[in-house]
Structure 1
Amino acid sequence: MQLLQHTVGRKILMAITGQLMVLFVIVHLLGNSSIFIGPDGINSYAKHLHDLGPLVWVFRLAMLALLTVHVFFGIQLTLENSAANPDAYAVKSRIKANFSSENMIWTGVLLLGFIVYHVLHFTARVTPDIIQGVDAQGRFDVFRMVTNSFQMGGIALIYVAAMVVLFFHLSHGIQSFFQTMGWSNEKAQPAFQKLGKVLSIIFLLGYSSIPIFIFAGILKG
């Protein structure tokens, strides 16, 4: 518990939980990309996850715990920095700052709101646009559910906009992880910054391509 009493310790926990969620973003993208195979691809993937039973809920609870820790310390550290830094120091510190680093708390808040919406949309399936059914093999028809939703311009726009926000959040967050852990220096920092931007672009293009392709009629049942 002494780790939580120090700012550095809280930053480390925030960085670690953030990067564990980045790993989830990677795995989730790989799974979602099975929709490009067609109905059988995404429906088989969903059936495989469903067959894992309680393990899926254990994983969901673990992700919820990581998200809770990350959000809590993110807000706490932001408030502490705001209270501790005088205006003169804040202006001076912006010399090396950029849009992503200056707005981490706001992109984080937007992403939190999107996560809630996404869970209600495709996990809890309580939003009014959701169409539920089964395919010819008796599996839940995820393909039809997703394509029906993203054929609506407003929903497609929400998801693409959220991925733009994710890009800004992770383009700074990924490289910040290495700095917080003490693994960065003047020579390594440009490489970590490039890594953050490259991964963020991959996530942006990978996730956004699904609603865009469906809305444009390129990907359809």
Structure 2
Amino acid sequence: MRSSVALKIFMAVTGLLLVAFLYAHMIGNLKIFLGAESFDHYAHWLRTIGVPLLPETWYLWLQRAGLTVAVVGHIVAATILARRARKARPVRYVHRTKVQGSYAARTMRWGGVIILLFVIYHILDLTTGTLNPNADAQHPYANVVADFAPGRWYVTLFYTLAIVSVGFHLRHGLFSAVRTLGQRTLRGERIARATALVLSVVLVAGYLAVPFAVLTGLVD
């Protein structure tokens, strides 16, 4: 915790871990387009990963615990670095130029808050079923359809806001992670920027495909 460099490396590593999970989760979500049977089978299969070495659902709980540690550590590291940056510049500039930093970089903090609130809601909605109108653990497909039904447009709106925030966060975070882990050449930075943009767009499109498919009746 005393080294800012170590904190940045920790943020980069935990960030990349979370990105890997987001992509795996997105691919699983897209199975909803194969129909209720395929999607429900996939959801039930997740509970059996590690069996018989581990009891049923243990893998999911271990994964959730690991992701929680990564998220909390990521947030704590970001908070410490932000405070150190403020202390290093105790006097605010009279005029701050808008040239430095992209829109994503300037909104990382609020984007992080939106994402955190969304994760909490998402767990209560589709993991525990507390906020889901269907809340049937045996039929995850029906839960998703009920969640994004046209009458619950406000849920889709919040979901969209959160996913777009993830996209901005990811675009800036991936580029920063690559720089932190050693990429400093001009050509390398251009490739990193382009790659971060493409990965962010693909992630946003993949996640938003599901709620809008339900909203428009493509999935019902």
> Could you state the TM-score of these two structures normalised by the residue count of structure 2?
0.90
CA contact (8 A) 1:75 1:105 kept: no
**Of 27, 32, 40, the match for 1:30:** 27
CA contact (8 A) 2:40 2:139 kept: yes
Residue of structure 1 in register with 2:123 after alignment:
119
**Of 90, 93, 96, the match for 1:91:** 96
Residue of structure 2 in register with 1:62 after alignment:
66
1:97 maps to amino acid: G
> What 5-or-longer segments of structure 2 have no aligned partner?
50-55
- Write the distance in 2 (CA, Å) between the matches of 1:198 and 1:21: 17
Deviation (angstroms), 1:57: 1.1
Which secondary structure state, in structure 2, belongs to the residue aligned with residue 188 of structure 1? helix
CA contact (8 A) 1:100 1:171 kept: yes
Matched, 1:71 2:69: no
> Could you state the TM-score of these two structures normalised by the residue count of structure 1?
0.90
CA contact (8 A) 1:74 1:105 kept: no
Residues 32-71 of structure 1 show CA distances to partners (whole Å, capped at 9, x for unaligned) of 1110101012101111011232111111111111111001
Deviation (angstroms), 1:90: 8.6
Residue of structure 2 in register with 1:137 after alignment:
none
Residue of structure 1 in register with 2:53 after alignment:
none
Which secondary structure state, in structure 2, belongs to the residue aligned with residue 95 of structure 1? coil
> What 5-or-longer segments of structure 1 have no aligned partner?
135-139
Q: Closer, same or farther in 2 for the Cα pair 1:90/1:171, shift >3 Å?
A: farther
Residues 4-56 of structure 1 show CA distances to partners (whole Å, capped at 9, x for unaligned) of 21111111101110110000001000111110101012101111011232111
Higher helix share: 1
1:49 maps to amino acid: L
- Write the distance in 1 (CA, Å) between the matches of 2:179 and 2:19: 16
CA contact (8 A) 2:129 2:136 kept: no
Work out the number of aligned pairs and report it.
210
Computed over aligned residues only, the root mean square deviation of the Cα atoms, in angstroms, reads 1.6
- Write the distance in 1 (CA, Å) between the matches of 2:120 and 2:40: 23
- Write the distance in 2 (CA, Å) between the matches of 1:90 and 1:16: 34
CA contact (8 A) 1:16 1:177 kept: yes
Which secondary structure state, in structure 2, belongs to the residue aligned with residue 183 of structure 1? coil
